[in-house]
Chains A and B, each alone.
Chain A
Amino acid sequence: GIQVEQSPPDLILQEGANSTLRCNFSDSVNNLQWFHQNPWGQLINLFYIPSGTKQNGRLSATTVATERYSLLYISSSQTTDSGVYFCARGAGSYQLTFGKGTKLSVIP
């Protein structure tokens, strides 16, 4: 089946630090999305990024489809950034297969 691998599985940051989360996928992609799940379980769509680079405030994402990976950058991390970050890839077209996530803890 289609593999979506995320690294690292866990990450602890001091507030203000920067980080990079990685997502590798085993097949070609035309649908790649990043999500943040906060400690209350709410799942927020951060980026729809099948290729290229996008930025939204302190967050940015880059997908290199030809090399089958995507990166999520978090700059100047805040405690509210804590939670689990999921990468999800289109399994057929619009359906998504999720990676296991990166659990981020930002400490003051």
Chain B
Amino acid sequence: DAMVIQNPRYQVTQFGKPVTLSCSQTLNHNVMYWYQQKSSQAPKLLFHYYDKDFNNEADTPDNFQSRRPNTSFCFLDIRSPGLGDAAMYLCATSRSQGIRSNQPQHFGDGTRLSIL
């Protein structure tokens, strides 16, 4: 089945130690998103790729970076994780053909990140 796959499901890292989360998709969607969701809160968009174009949200800390080497894969890099970065990280995809073309977003199962 076509889907959005996130690995790993759970990730533990040390304070200040760089960590990378991965997302892959078989939907061939051109837009990929990364969200951060803290406990009992709504998902918050960090950034997204529209094709190869990277779009950062204004309030996303510089500590968070992303890479999209091809259509299928997208990575979230946290350069120096702090205790406040412990959260669920959700990857999503959608198909868009421009500003007036909207399609449902499909989410992966998420990676729950813990900071020691």
B90 proximity list for chain A (CB < 8 A): 43
The distance from the CB of B34 to the nearest CB of chain A, in whole angstroms, is 12
B107–A45 CB distance below 8 A: yes
A35 proximity list for chain B (CB < 8 A): 107
A25 proximity list for chain B (CB < 8 A): none
The distance from the CB of B106 to the nearest CB of chain A, in whole angstroms, is 6
CA of A93 to CA of B90, assembled, Å: 20
A43–B101 CB distance below 8 A: no
* Chain A: interface size category: 20 to 34
A88 proximity list for chain B (CB < 8 A): 105
B2 contacts the other chain (CB 8 A): no
Tell me which of A45, A48, A94 has the highest count of chain B C-beta atoms within 10 A of its own C-beta. A94
**Contact A100 B104, CB 8 Å, known A93-B99, A94-B31, A94-B94:** no
1/0 contact trace for A32-75 toward B, CB 8 Å?
Answer: 01010000111111001010000000000000000000000000
- Among residues of B, the one whose C-beta sits closest to the C-beta of A87 is B42
- Among residues of B, the one whose C-beta sits closest to the C-beta of A103 is B40
* A-B residue pairs, 3 tightest by C-beta: A98-B42, A48-B104, A31-B102
B45 contacts the other chain (CB 8 A): yes
CA of A35 to CA of B101, assembled, Å: 20
A79 contacts the other chain (CB 8 A): no
The distance from the CB of B50 to the nearest CB of chain A, in whole angstroms, is 8
B45–A99 CB distance below 8 A: no
A42–B104 CB distance below 8 A: no
A108 proximity list for chain B (CB < 8 A): none
A93–B102 CB distance below 8 A: yes
